[in-house]
Amino acid sequence: MSETTTTTTTSGQQSHGQRILLENVTKKYSGQSGAAVDDVTLEIPAGEIVMLVGPSGCGKTTTMKMINRLIEPTSGRIYIGDEDVTDQDADDLRRRIGYVIQGAGLFPHYTVAENIAIVPRLLGWKKDRVAARVDELLDLVNLDPEQYRDRYPRELSGGQQQRVGVARALAADPPVLLMDEPFGAVDPITRQRLQDELLRLQEELRKTIVFVTHDFDEAVKLGDRIAILDVGSRIVQYDTPEAILTSPANEFVEGFVGHGAALKQLTLTRVRDVELHEAAVAHVGGDAAAAAQDARAKGRDWVIVLDAQERPQRWVSVRELERGGALDRVSRDLELETVSSASTLNDALDEMLTSSHGVVVVTGRRNVYQGVIRVETIMQAMQQLSSSAADVDPVQP
Ligand SMILES: Nc1ncnc2c1ncn2[C@@H]1O[C@H](COP(=O)(O)OP(=O)(O)OP(=O)(O)O)[C@@H](O)[C@H]1O
């Protein structure tokens, strides 16, 4: 494992995840009658996101914290890659496993840069290398280094703090990331963005990620696999989100899947998997009359105004342009919500239901405009999903 962590460079060389294997792992807290984690065997494949879901107190956090030995197992073995880490020096181990918790857990008296630099410093990296890595990571989590590196956590929003938390966990390029309800304390819109960013990051980094959540929809959205746990961390079902949604193992799992499984399946389809439509667009500073004409030719009543970097700024009606409205306002209109290509159709539907335009605007890397999704596209996807679910699941009427 040490090899992968020391190959980190600021030139973009990245380690890939390593397999984690829990073998007959048990944790008994003193004074408790049953085991909090009872003889669990679980293999987490390299480079995958595995979600641990289960009722409160079932042992999710205990299971996760045994991987970086914040909690010592009572018995059993834990392997990362081929290495048995059960008897390794715990401090040493933790420096090689990224850890993200709810509320980010940043040190309030350290700046953003100092927070991110903690593990690289402990590992003895040279100053220049640490500084370059901090900037690289801030970029990676979509925070402008110039603007944010010298701020203190209290000068950031909850979502920004959480991004710094992720950057800090990634600092020494660990092959394994543990995330304990990282997005539990932020509002739903911020949570959706952070989830999208995590998926985008994961496409690049391919870490092995163990993620504890209470939110089944989050598990479906983020997980390559989901482990549904019952008391004692007993694994009731361990499978892909598709398989859990279409063939829940028993009533306990059905309880998690809940009603509206068809709607939840929208969480399985990404914006990038469906056809985007072209909207009428114009640029800040462009010719308003020409933009209106173009929109009319396309049969559109509204135009999306993009800035010089092709980022959507606001909607403007064709009528306003025809009445001589100019395209000179640069400010971003907060009512123009966008989804990214990594977002789910469920997120897109959410945005659409609160937008008055009947479409949702899709952006790609660096928030560059890509197109729009129409409500018909979402309806079509839902029909396809429910007919394929009926094919797979024989118990469906
Ligand atoms: N330090 C401790 N001492 C004694 N018992 C503990 C300790 N930590 C956790 N427990 C118990 O172990 C069991 C599992 O706790 P754990 O925090 O792992 O569950 P969880 O599934 O993560 O719960 P939640 O979803 O509520 O966070 C619970 O019954 C809890 O009360």
- Which has the higher per-residue pLDDT, 259 or 167? 167
56 lines ligand 1 (CB under 6 A): yes
Here the CATH number for the domain that contains residue 355 is 3.10.580.10
Smallest CA-to-CA distance from 62 within 53, 71, 54 is with 71
Final residue before a domain boundary, out of 193, 226, 258? 258
| Domain presence at residue 265 | no
Smallest CA-to-CA distance from 250 within 265, 271, 230 is with 230
| Domain presence at residue 267 | no
Q: Which pLDDT band, with edges at 50, 70 and 90, does 43 fall under?
A: very high
| Domain presence at residue 25 | yes
Same domain? 253 vs 278? no
3-class DSSP assignment, residue 54? coil
Same domain? 81 vs 202? yes
| Domain presence at residue 283 | yes
29 lines ligand 1 (CB under 6 A): yes
Average confidence score pLDDT of the chain: 83
Same domain? 93 vs 219? yes
Same domain? 234 vs 322? no
57 lines ligand 1 (CB under 6 A): yes
Same domain? 305 vs 248? no
Listed in sequence order, the residues at least 6 apart from 3 whose beta carbon sits closer than 8 Å to its beta carbon are: none
Q: In the prediction, which pLDDT does 50 show? A: 96
Tally of domains within the chain: 2
33 lines ligand 1 (CB under 6 A): no
Same domain? 331 vs 219? no
- Which has the higher per-residue pLDDT, 397 or 189? 189
The minimum-distance atom of ligand 1 relative to the CA of 233 is 21
Final residue before a domain boundary, out of 229, 258, 287? 258
Smallest CA-to-CA distance from 101 within 199, 14, 213, 256 is with 213
| CA contacts within 13 A on the Cβ side of 281 | 18
Residue 1 alpha carbon to ligand 1 centre in Å:
29
213 lines ligand 1 (CB under 6 A): no
Residue 154 alpha carbon to ligand 1 centre in Å:
30
pLDDT tens sequence across 121-133? 887 888 888 899 8
| Domain presence at residue 389 | no
> Which ipTM value was assigned to this complex?
0.94
pLDDT tens sequence across 279-329? 899 998 888 888 999 989 988 888 999 988 899 888 888 888 888 777 776
Here the CATH number for the domain that contains residue 84 is 3.40.50.300
Cα distances (Å, whole numbers) of residue 326 to 308, 314, 361: 16, 13, 22
In whole angstroms, give the CA distance from residue 50 to residue 219.
8
| Domain presence at residue 46 | yes
Same domain? 246 vs 286? no
Same domain? 12 vs 153? yes
232 lines ligand 1 (CB under 6 A): no
| pLDDT mean over 341-345 | 86
Same domain? 228 vs 300? no
| In the predicted structure, residue 9 carries a pLDDT above the cut 50 | no
> Which of the listed residues 62, 63, 210 should we mutate to test ligand 1's pocket, taking the one with most ligand atoms within 8 A of CB?
62
Please state, for a pLDDT cut of 90, what percent of the chain lies above it. Answer: 23
Cross-strand pairs, 303: 280, 316
32 lines ligand 1 (CB under 6 A): yes
Question: Which residues constitute the domain of residue 358?
Answer: 272-380
In whole angstroms, give the CA distance from residue 148 to residue 32.
45
Listed in sequence order, the residues at least 6 apart from 277 whose beta carbon sits closer than 8 Å to its beta carbon are: 359, 371, 372, 373, 374, 377
pTM (two decimals): 0.71
Final residue before a domain boundary, out of 258, 293, 323? 258
Same domain? 152 vs 176? yes
Same domain? 299 vs 332? yes
| Domain presence at residue 387 | no
381 lines ligand 1 (CB under 6 A): no
| In the predicted structure, residue 12 carries a pLDDT above the cut 70 | no
Residue 100 alpha carbon to ligand 1 centre in Å:
18
Same domain? 197 vs 300? no
| In the predicted structure, residue 100 carries a pLDDT above the cut 90 | no
4 lines ligand 1 (CB under 6 A): no
| Domain presence at residue 295 | yes
| In the predicted structure, residue 236 carries a pLDDT above the cut 60 | yes
Counted residue by residue, the chain has a size of 397
